[in-house]
Structure 1
Amino acid sequence: MQILGHQRILELLPRLQAQTLLFTGPEGVGRRTVARWFAAGLNCEGGFPPCGCCASCRLEPHADYLEIAPQTETKTGRKARLLQIRLEQIAPREGSEETNLLDWIATYPRFKTKVAVIDGAHWLGESAANALLKVLEEPPAFARLILVAPSRELVLPTLASRSLEVGFSPLPEAELRTLTTDPEVLAFAQGSPGRVRWALEHPAEFARLESRVQGVLEALRAGPAPTLEALKLLLETDDALPYLGRRLGQLQMESPAYKEALEALSRAQDALSAYVSEDLVQTWLALKLARL
Structure 2
Amino acid sequence: MTILGHQRILELLPRLNAQTLLFTGPEGVGRRAVAQWFARGLNCSQGFPPCGHCEACRQTPPADYREIAPDLETKGGKRARAPQIRLEQIAPREGEEGENLLDWISTYPRYRVKVATIDGAHLLNESAANALLKVLEEPPAYTRLILIAPGRETVLPTLVSRSLEVAFAPLPEALLRTLSPDPEVLGFAEGSVGKARWALEHPAEFAQLTGRAEGVLEALRTGPAPTLEALRLLLELEGGLSYLSRRLRQAWDPESPRYRQALQSLAEAQDALEGYVSEDLVQTLLALRLTRLSP
Partner letter of residue 284 of structure 2?
T
Query: What is the Cα deviation at residue 59 of structure 1?
Result: 1.6
Contact (CA 8 Å) 2:91, 2:102: kept in 1 or not? yes
Partner letter of residue 249 of structure 1?
R
Q: Report the counterpart of residue 65 of structure 1 in structure 2.
A: 65
Query: What is the Cα deviation at residue 217 of structure 1?
Result: 1.0
- Inter-partner Cα distance in structure 1 for 2:151 and 2:170: 14
Q: Which runs of 4+ in 1 moved over 6 A?
A: none
Contact (CA 8 Å) 2:91, 2:100: kept in 1 or not? yes
DSSP-derived class of the 1:288 partner: helix
Query: What is the Cα deviation at residue 61 of structure 1?
Result: 3.4
- Inter-partner Cα distance in structure 2 for 1:261 and 1:167: 29
- Inter-partner Cα distance in structure 1 for 2:167 and 2:191: 14
What percent identity do the matched residue pairs reach? 74
- Inter-partner Cα distance in structure 2 for 1:78 and 1:62: 30
Query: What is the Cα deviation at residue 63 of structure 1?
Result: 4.5
Q: TM-score, normalised by structure 2?
A: 0.97
Deviations for 1:55-100, whole angstroms, at most 9, x for unmatched residues?
A: 1011223441110011112122222111010101000122322111
Structure 2, gaps ≥5 residues long = none
- Inter-partner Cα distance in structure 1 for 2:98 and 2:258: 48
Q: Report the counterpart of residue 191 of structure 2 in structure 1.
A: 191
Matched, 1:227 2:207: no
Deviations for 1:147-189, whole angstroms, at most 9, x for unmatched residues?
A: 0001101101110111111111111110000000011111111
- Inter-partner Cα distance in structure 1 for 2:252 and 2:265: 17
Q: Report the counterpart of residue 48 of structure 1 in structure 2.
A: 48
Q: Which moved more, 1:222-231 or 1:157-166?
A: 222-231
Q: Report the counterpart of residue 153 of structure 2 in structure 1.
A: 153
Q: Report the counterpart of residue 127 of structure 1 in structure 2.
A: 127
- Inter-partner Cα distance in structure 1 for 2:242 and 2:86: 26
1:228-267 paired onto structure 2 within 5 Å: 228-253=228-253, 254-267=255-268
- Inter-partner Cα distance in structure 2 for 1:60 and 1:36: 10
Partner letter of residue 278 of structure 1?
E
1:177-216 paired onto structure 2 within 5 Å: 177-216=177-216
DSSP-derived class of the 2:198 partner: helix
Partner letter of residue 263 of structure 1?
Q
Partner letter of residue 271 of structure 2?
D
DSSP-derived class of the 2:242 partner: helix
Q: Report the counterpart of residue 282 of structure 2 in structure 1.
A: 281
Tell me how many residue pairs correspond in the alignment.
292
DSSP-derived class of the 2:56 partner: helix
CA RMSD of aligned residues (A): 1.0
DSSP-derived class of the 1:169 partner: coil
DSSP-derived class of the 2:57 partner: helix
Q: Report the counterpart of residue 27 of structure 1 in structure 2.
A: 27
- Inter-partner Cα distance in structure 2 for 1:206 and 1:236: 13
Q: TM-score, normalised by structure 1?
A: 0.98
